[in-house]
């Protein structure tokens, strides 16, 4: 078995999908998990990007169907979490509107993130390091602060935190460990980015969101493809078992190996 075949098997990616069937399967998965968990629904952080828009569509269908079938209300709560001013925040609001979310809120992470950064910089002085936090380091604090706030709200409202990780991110480990990677349930797992977009189009994700370049939004000008040096088309081809250029294969497999610690259970002795 080649490494490509092993990765595809581990991440459970199919070479092609039927959007309608995949949506049904994933909505059913969310419904049965929520029902068994005894919670009141789902919390999804909406960034204005594609993955969270698709997850929002799935969550809303699941909680609407549960409400109808069980005769009591199940919620999908959409949480917008800008750091200061978010230039594309209108896409988050458009997503919530497209899926007719009844419950939304905005929680700005800027002050909390800057407070953490100040404490880190203060602490580092004690070991003789006099510098600001690095841009990627502070980016990870943003992702983790979002997670802290999501879990605080989820606890208060008896909700589960929904993650947006999918196979194209899992293979590269392109998420913050214990940040956006720390969630209760991942309805997009086993899909590559092309398939996430296919499902998004089927669900009615706003066109502007379907068309935009994927970004973590952790610093100005950041895009996934620029940071990783790999196009999602190539990443998706690889996960569909297709032949890709040798340099693409090498890069993907190198990210996969380096980020194994994010996908594995915590090592102990």
Q: Is 49 annotated as a binding residue?
A: yes
Least Å from the CB of residue 59 to Mg ion:
17
Cβ contact 51:187 at 8 Å: no
Q: Which of 94, 165, 169, 234 is catalytic?
A: 169
Return the residues of window 120-149 that contact ligand ATP according to CB under 6 A: 146
Active site residue 51: yes
Q: Is 61 in the site for ligand ATP (CB under 6 A)?
A: no
Q: Is 184 annotated as a binding residue?
A: yes
Active site residue 169: yes
Least Å from the CB of residue 98 to ligand ATP:
14
The C-alpha angle with vertex 213 and arms to 112 and 87, in degrees rounded to 5, equals 40
Q: Is 96 in the site for ligand ATP (CB under 6 A)?
A: no
The count of C-alpha atoms lying within 13 angstroms of the C-alpha of 120, restricted to the half-sphere facing its C-beta, is: 13
**Three-state DSSP string of the chain:** CCHHHHHHHHHCCCCCCCHHHHHHHHHHHHHHHHHHHCCCEEEEECCCCHHHHHHHHHHHHHHHHHHHHHCCCCEEEEEECCCCCCCCHHHHHHHHHHCCCCEEEECCCHHHHHHHHHHHHHHHHCCCCCCCCCHHHHHHHHHHHHHHHHHHHHHHHCCEEECCCCHHHHCCCCCCCCCCCCCCECCCCCCCHHHHHHHHHHHCCCHHHHHCCCCCCCCCCCCHHHHHCCCHHHHHHHHCCCCCCHHHHHHHHHHHHHCHHHHCCCCCC
Residue 195 interface partner, choices ligand ATP, Mg ion, ligand DND, none, CB cut-off 5-8 Å depending on type: none
Choice from 4, 76, 81, 192 touching ligand ATP (CB under 6 A): 81
102: left (phi over 0), alpha (psi -120 to 50) or beta: alpha
Q: Is 227 in the site for ligand DND (CB under 6 A)?
A: yes
Least Å from the CB of residue 55 to ligand DND:
13
Q: Is 47 annotated as a binding residue?
A: yes
Site map 179..218 versus Mg ion, x via CB under 5 A: ------------------------------------x---
- Considering the complex, state which of residue 57 and residue 139 has its C-beta at the smaller distance from ligand DND: 139
Cβ contact 36:1 at 8 Å: no
- Considering the complex, state which of residue 65 and residue 227 has its C-beta at the smaller distance from ligand DND: 227
- Considering the complex, state which of residue 129 and residue 155 has its C-beta at the smaller distance from ligand ATP: 155
Q: Is 216 in the site for ligand ATP (CB under 6 A)?
A: yes
Q: Is 47 in the site for Mg ion (CB under 5 A)?
A: yes
Q: Is 154 in the site for ligand ATP (CB under 6 A)?
A: no
Choice from 57, 78, 179, 206 touching ligand DND (CB under 6 A): 179
Residues labelled catalytic: 51, 169
- Judged by the rule CB under 5 A, the positions of this chain that interact with Mg ion are 47, 49, 215
- Judged by the rule CB under 6 A, the positions of this chain that interact with ligand ATP are 45-47, 49-52, 80-82, 86, 146, 164, 180, 214-217
């Amino acid at each position: 078995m080649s490494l490509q075949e092993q990765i595809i098997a581990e991440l459970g990616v199919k070479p092609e999908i039927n959007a309608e069937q995949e949506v049904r399967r994933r909505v059913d998965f969310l419904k049965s998990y929520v029902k068994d968990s005894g919670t009141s629904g789902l919390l999804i952080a909406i960034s204005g990007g594609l993955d969270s828009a698709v997850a929002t569509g799935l969550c809303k269908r699941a909680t609407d169907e549960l409400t109808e079938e069980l005769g009591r209300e199940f919620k999908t709560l959409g949480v917008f979490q800008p750091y200061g001013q978010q230039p594309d925040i209108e896409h988050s609001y458009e997503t919530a509107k497209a899926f007719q979310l009844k419950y939304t809120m905005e929680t700005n992470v800027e002050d909390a993130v800057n407070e953490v950064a100040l404490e880190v910089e203060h602490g580092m002085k004690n070991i003789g390091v006099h510098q600001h936090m690095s841009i990627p380091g502070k980016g990870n604090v943003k992702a983790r602060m979002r997670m802290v706030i999501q879990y605080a709200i989820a606890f208060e409202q008896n909700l589960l935190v929904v993650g947006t990780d999918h196979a194209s991110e899992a293979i590269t480990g392109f998420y913050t460990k214990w940040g956006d990677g720390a969630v209760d349930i991942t309805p997009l797992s086993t899909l590559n980015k092309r398939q996430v977009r296919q499902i998004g189009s089927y669900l009615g994700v706003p066109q502007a969101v379907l068309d935009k370049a994927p970004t973590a939004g952790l610093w100005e000008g950041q895009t996934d493809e620029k940071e990783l040096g790999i196009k999602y088309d190539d990443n998706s081809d690889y996960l569909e078992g297709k032949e890709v250029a040798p340099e693409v294969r090498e890069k993907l497999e190198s990210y996969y190996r380096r980020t194994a610690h994010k996908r594995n259970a915590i090592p102990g002795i």
